[in-house]
Amino acid sequence: MLRKPLTPLLVVLLLLGSSNALAHPGHDVSGLSAGLLHPFNGFDHLLAMLAVGLWAAQNGGRKIWLLPAAFMLLMAIGAKCALIYPFLPLIESGIAASVLVLGIVIALALKLSTRLSITITALFGFFHGYAHGLEMFEASEAQAYALGFLATTAALHLAGIITGIATRTRCMRLPQALGAIIATSGMWLLSAI
């Protein structure tokens, strides 16, 4: 079957096509299309969102939908909080740490308790959402932009889940290898801050 090998290839192509971190003001944040495209423009966002899906697939069971849902819910809350209180420090560090930590848990194939897994994922979702919320001060169509980045986040989570599930039988070590790459990228992002 050709479909299974194409999923990891798609993930690699997405990673190669992504630019450096853009979780800060200074780029187009107006409208649905900008929101849909934004996670593809930030290496940090792309990796973290794929990582949530990969980790959810590694854990299986209820976590396969709970982890992405927790990330997205707190991402929306984080965006709203940024509009109310735009002075929270260390957001970029939190985003970079999300890439590092999620990469580590995938590389080590950690299966933490459901509560702890949700807490970790939700915290990182908050950081990513807060960064998006800071960007929304400049948006002429903020709600459409938010809908766009939430839709793309869901799609990236799904891509991670599909990759994790597709590689369970034939390439069981691929998610762990991707986790190591993600963790290394997280270390690089943290050192660049």
Q: Rounded to whole angstroms, how far apart are CA atoms 193 and 94?
A: 11
The kind and range of the H/E element at 170 are none
Distance between CA atoms of 8 and 57, rounded to whole angstroms?
A: 14
| 7 inside domain | no
Q: pTM of this prediction?
A: 0.83
Cβ–Cβ under 8 Å, residues 32 and 148: yes
> How many domains does the chain fold into?
1
112: Cα separation from own chain's centroid? 19
CB 42 within 8 A of CB 23: yes
In a domain? residue 5: no
- Cβ contacts of 190 within 8 Å, gap of 6 or more: 93, 96, 97, 100
CA pair distance 29, 159, nearest whole angstrom: 24
Residue 14 lies inside a defined structural domain of this protein? no
Confidence of residue 29 (pLDDT cuts 50, 70, 90): low
Confidence band for 47, pLDDT divided at 50, 70 and 90: very high
- Amino acid identity of residue 25, one-letter, is P
Write down the residue that tokens 């990182």 correspond to. 124
Structure tokens at 142: 């903020």
Q: Is residue 4 part of a domain?
A: no
Whether residue 19 is contained in a domain is answered as no
* pLDDT (0 to 100) of residue 141: 86
Quickly list H helices, 18-62. 32-41, 43-59
pLDDT tens figures, 12-28: 434 444 444 444 444 55
Instruction: Please give the average per-residue pLDDT across 138-161, as a whole number.
Output: 90
Q: Is 18 left (phi over 0), alpha (psi -120 to 50) or beta?
A: beta
In a domain, 163, yes or no: yes
Q: Which of 21-25, 29-33, 135-139, 140-144 has the lowest mean pLDDT?
A: 21-25
Residue 106 has pLDDT above 50, yes or no: yes
pLDDT (0 to 100) of residue 34: 85
Q: Which residues of 143-160 are buried (b: 16+ CB within 10 A; e: fewer)?
A: ebbbebbbebbbebbebb
In a domain, 18, yes or no: no
Average pLDDT of the residues of the chain: 85
- Provide the domain limits for residue 172: 28-191
Q: How many other C-beta atoms lie within 10 A of the C-beta of residue 27?
A: 14
Is 139 inside a domain boundary?
yes
